[in-house]
Chain A
Amino acid sequence: GAGVSQSPRYKVAKRGQDVALRCDPISGHVSLFWYQQALGQGPEFLTYFQNEAQLDKSGLPSDRFFAERPEGSVSTLKIQRTQQEDSAVYLCASSLAVGGLAFFGQGTRLTVV
């Protein structure tokens, strides 16, 4: 595709459910980032991949959050046993090279009820 694609665009989960959010980066992009944007706030860094290697996961808020990029392209952010404070927009970004400009997707809005 022409840009970073995220699915689903909207997700409503009952508290305690597991969710999986998908990110399709721009084809050939090496770097991939996940950010969490709470309502009324700026995005906050969650994790960073270079190809399939997860080089930085310092922003993941708890061990309920898990991200993977097994073949160095599509990435999945998984949240186990969702809680209300997990409600946010989850943004994915990719860049062609390390240190290159990152392009963002439109995000997945997660609402935990």
Chain B
Amino acid sequence: AQKITQTQPGMFVQEKEAVTLDCTYDTSDPSYGLFWYKQPSSGEMIFLIYQGSYDQQNATEGRYSLNFQKARKSANLVISASQLGDSAMYFCAMSPDPNFGNEKLTFGTGTRLTIIP
């Protein structure tokens, strides 16, 4: 079984500052994929970034980077230069497929990020 833990229910960050959202995971699978999604108030889940368990380098997508520490089983999301539009719920998720597969994602409980002007 896979489990995702997000310990920060809510965060407030000043605009233009960097923010780190924590995610730890637990799995007995030898390989897996890790995802971050953004859920604005409109409800849809927006894909942000992906890291495969075999990937040696941390994933980056524009202002988003994933700080992957396999030994610690953590996959923190870093958002640089935060913007007001970044205010939303953020979910960390895991898949049993390390090759960008999306079958049967297991999600954490989320972190509500609020950017302060």
Q: How far does the Cβ of B50 sit from chain A's closest Cβ, in whole Å?
A: 8
Give the B-binding residues of A (Cβ under 8 A): 3, 31, 33, 35, 40-45, 48, 56, 59, 89, 91, 93, 95, 98-107, 109
Contact A102 B102, beta carbon cutoff 8 Å: yes
Q: Residue B110 contacts which of A42, A91, A100, A103 (CB distance < 8 angstroms)?
A: A42
Contact A43 B102, beta carbon cutoff 8 Å: no
12 other A-B residue contacts (CB within 8 Å) besides A42-B109, A56-B104, A99-B97: A31-B103, A33-B104, A33-B105, A89-B43, A91-B45, A93-B102, A95-B102, A99-B102, A100-B102, A101-B47, A106-B43, A107-B43
What CA separation (Å) do A101 and B36 show in the bound complex?
12
Contact B109 A48, beta carbon cutoff 8 Å: no
| Subset of 19 A-B contacts with CB under 8 Å | A31-B102, A33-B103, A40-B109, A41-B109, A41-B110, A42-B93, A42-B109, A42-B110, A43-B105, A44-B107, A56-B104, A93-B102, A99-B99, A99-B102, A101-B47, A101-B50, A104-B44, A106-B42, A106-B44
> Quick one: which of B79-117 are within 8 Å of A by CB?
91, 93, 97, 99-110
> Quick one: which of B24-38 are within 8 Å of A by CB?
37
Q: Which of A91, A99, A107 has the most CB of B within 10 A?
A: A99
Contact A107 B44, beta carbon cutoff 8 Å: yes
Known contacts A99-B101, A100-B102, A102-B102, A42 near B44 by CB under 8 Å: no
**Which 8 A-B residue pairs are closest in the complex by CB-CB distance?**
A42-B107, A99-B101, A104-B45, A102-B102, A106-B43, A106-B44, A107-B43, A45-B104
